[in-house]
Structure 1
Amino acid sequence: MPDLFAGPGGIDIAARQLGIHLTGIEWDDNTVQTRRAAGLSTVHGDVRHYEPAQFPSETGLAAGAPCQTFSIGGTGKGRAVLDLLAATVKTAGIDGRVTIPAGLDDRTALVLEPLRWILEAHADRGPYRWIVLEQVPAVLPIWQAYAEVLEARGYNAACGVLNAEEYGVPQTRRRAALVASLDGPVALPAPTHRRYVRGVPQSAGNPALLPWVSMADALPERGPFTVVSNYGTGGDPKNRGRRTSDQPAFTVTGKISRLRLLDPDGNELPRLTHSEAGRLQGFPADYPWSGRDVSQQIGNAAPVQLATALLRAATQPTAR
């Protein structure tokens, strides 16, 4: 399957574990170095310069467009035009082609690229059998518009906001996800782990689900520590959030290298290594992070365990 905006390989690693063929398209030079070091099939280029006909054997499509204009920590340009983007998606579903609205900034417009691929594949080389899309929660109205278009073309589709720790990711990360299939009913993947609730012990909760995974579980060699976030909370940039190692990590971002770590006595500890930061996104400890801006690569990645759950939901439509 083509993986648009493939990043360093979160979806790719999940696909490889599931025996799914994937070709990632990624434009960033440094990220491509990591992908190739990891042995991932990669096209180095801009997804806007490619089309489905160039990947005729691929049966599915995955995508996670850049989130900077939609995320809370970003510019807000994307959040300001959600209604316009949703309307553009619905119009494209009628017209059979995507027309970028005048004045829309290039980065925000990338959220429409997966739809271009879907519609062109449907018209030319044959439709993708399944689709997986993920983004920050603010993008949910756009995925809902996608679902409407897909269902009009015979797909079964489901979308919503998922909590990454409910799928075994050692961080609290919320993502808007869409899964679709031509081969049967689909639903968003059912949680495999309990949801993290501050103050509720890891051992508490639904006994049918696994405990959420803590930073200590993912990084046992570290010993106990406290993370001081690089973000302020409650609108106060000086009010840095804190979590101890027996909790999941904050959402991993491209600024993860800025996180301060303290020992139980309040002394500074070495900051997270690339391997450690990657493990908080579900990557193997020996993942060959390469090139520059590795922290940004890690922050841009899809968490491996969440990607695995989404791929299963889309490719095994009877699985729940």
Structure 2
Amino acid sequence: MIDLFAGCGGMTAGFVAAGDYRPVLAVEWDLHAAATYAANFGEDHVRWADITTVTDIPPADLIIGGPPCQGFSNLGSRDVDDPRNQLWKQYLRFVRGARPKVFVIENVDRFLSSPEFALLRAEARPGGLLDGYHLTPGLLLAADFGVPQRRKRAFVIGSRVGPIPLPAPTHSRDRWHGVRTVLEGLPEHPAHKTLPDSTVEILGHRVPGRFKSADLHLARTPTALSLERYRAIPPGGGRFDLPDHLLPRCWREKKTGTTDVMGRMRWDEPSLTIRTEFYKPEKGQYLHPQWEPGPHGHRVDRPITHLEAARLQTFPDTFEWCGTKIQVAKQIGNAVPPMLAEAIAHHLKPYLSATPTPAPAPCRLCG
């Protein structure tokens, strides 16, 4: 398989975990994300480069990847002329060059209603760049596949071996995993605030790393005002639970919208989407779920750590990381949850091989 816009390797991690998938090329332009990918899957097939400059395209049965989505995202400008939105055409160039049996594109949910997606569908018509491929688009919710996170993303499966539906959910709503499944038991008060002072040479460059999962359990130093705000917010609550004297002016004057900011998770429910700035409670529902009522209730008044975010994304604790704290956080938030990728990988096996395939592996969080 080929992984384009590979990031730190969330999709590759899931496909490799499913067995039978062997990466032959991964392309990523960000050095630290490419270094993380290489640290976990080897350097030999990694190209740290602008995808437009990569011309040696090996044959492959499968191409996976998510072109940058900022132009489509609710958090971005949604500018159809954003040059990042044109990178999906590079994805098609690799499909034309490698001629995979199947390809999988991942993007934010708004992608399916974008002009770029309409152009993508047009390329599957006779004479188009994707002539011969059948496209199946749709939305997948990570929680439906065992991920303790309500992360909804668009996926497009392209196939020249017959139509392939999107995978069916493996977890009904009453079997969703709450954040307890991956956060409970971790130290409530991290011992360190910085990553170890270590570097490693990968891809011909020296970068911070390799960091183990335990290295990512990092504390922050909130202000007294921030701590007072954190204490006031119960599980499932957010900025609307703050008394007036704790509200900044911008929130006091904005009575609607941004309902999840300064939010606290619930132990027995999936988290909301883990984004790249999960360590900032003002950016979303990122406060630790432990909170008991009363003046002496047991509370953990801090945002989740990098390790906790990685676990909510279902990265295994054996995964290794390269980069600064901010760079690693970006890698975590931008990744496809490996457990979701693994479910897709199992689903695709019968279509990629004529031999019988084993039943999907049991959910590792269910036991």
TM-score normalized with structure 2 length: 0.67
Q: Which residue of 2 aligns with 1:190?
A: 168
Cα contact 2:8–2:36 (8 A) shared by 1:
yes
Aligned residues: 274
Superposed, 1:1-320 pairs within 5 Å as 1-17=1-17, 18-22=19-23, 23-40=25-42, 41-51=45-55, 54-77=56-79, 81=80, 104-119=81-96, 121=97, 127-141=99-113, 142-143=116-117, 145-150=119-124, 152=126, 153-195=131-173, 202=174, 211-222=175-186, 226=235, 234-236=256-258, 240-258=262-280, 259-261=286-288, 262-264=290-292, 265=297, 267-292=299-324, 293-317=327-351
With over 3 angstroms needed to count, the CA separation of the structure-2 counterparts of 1:143 and 1:282, relative to structure 1, is: farther
Cα contact 1:229–1:260 (8 A) shared by 2:
no
- 1:150 partner SS: coil
From the CA coordinates, give the structure whose radius of gyration is larger.
2
Cα contact 1:274–1:289 (8 A) shared by 2:
no
- 1:243 partner SS: coil
- 2:156 partner SS: strand
Structure 1: state its 5+ residue gaps.
82-103, 196-201, 203-210
Q: Which residue of 2 aligns with 1:95?
A: none
Q: Cα RMSD between the aligned structures?
A: 3.0
User: Deviation at 1:284?
Assistant: 0.2
- Identity of matched residues, %: 30
With over 3 angstroms needed to count, the CA separation of the structure-2 counterparts of 1:238 and 1:47, relative to structure 1, is: closer
Counterpart amino acid of 2:272? F
With over 3 angstroms needed to count, the CA separation of the structure-2 counterparts of 1:154 and 1:314, relative to structure 1, is: farther
- 1:316 partner SS: helix
Looking at structure 2, the residues matched to 185 and 236 of structure 1 have their Cα atoms a distance apart, in angstroms, of 39
User: Deviation at 1:146?
Assistant: 2.9
User: Deviation at 1:174?
Assistant: 0.8
With over 3 angstroms needed to count, the CA separation of the structure-2 counterparts of 1:129 and 1:310, relative to structure 1, is: same
Looking at structure 2, the residues matched to 11 and 168 of structure 1 have their Cα atoms a distance apart, in angstroms, of 15
- Runs of 4+ in structure 1 deviating by more than 6 angstroms, as ranges, are 227-233
- Report Cα offsets for 1:215-271 as digits up to 9, x if no partner: 101222149994777999951479644431211011010011223325323744454
With over 3 angstroms needed to count, the CA separation of the structure-2 counterparts of 1:217 and 1:3, relative to structure 1, is: same
With over 3 angstroms needed to count, the CA separation of the structure-2 counterparts of 1:169 and 1:151, relative to structure 1, is: farther
Looking at structure 2, the residues matched to 280 and 226 of structure 1 have their Cα atoms a distance apart, in angstroms, of 17
With over 3 angstroms needed to count, the CA separation of the structure-2 counterparts of 1:168 and 1:20, relative to structure 1, is: same
User: Deviation at 1:294?
Assistant: 1.0
With over 3 angstroms needed to count, the CA separation of the structure-2 counterparts of 1:307 and 1:263, relative to structure 1, is: same
Q: In proportion to residue count, which structure has more strand?
A: 1
Most deviating of 156-165 and 231-240:
231-240
Cα contact 1:157–1:187 (8 A) shared by 2:
no
- 2:279 partner SS: helix
Structure 2: state its 5+ residue gaps.
189-233, 241-250, 281-285, 361-367
Cα contact 2:141–2:153 (8 A) shared by 1:
yes
With over 3 angstroms needed to count, the CA separation of the structure-2 counterparts of 1:241 and 1:49, relative to structure 1, is: same
- 2:138 partner SS: strand
Looking at structure 1, the residues matched to 336 and 95 of structure 2 have their Cα atoms a distance apart, in angstroms, of 21
Counterpart amino acid of 1:309? A
Looking at structure 2, the residues matched to 212 and 42 of structure 1 have their Cα atoms a distance apart, in angstroms, of 35
User: Deviation at 1:151?
Assistant: 5.9
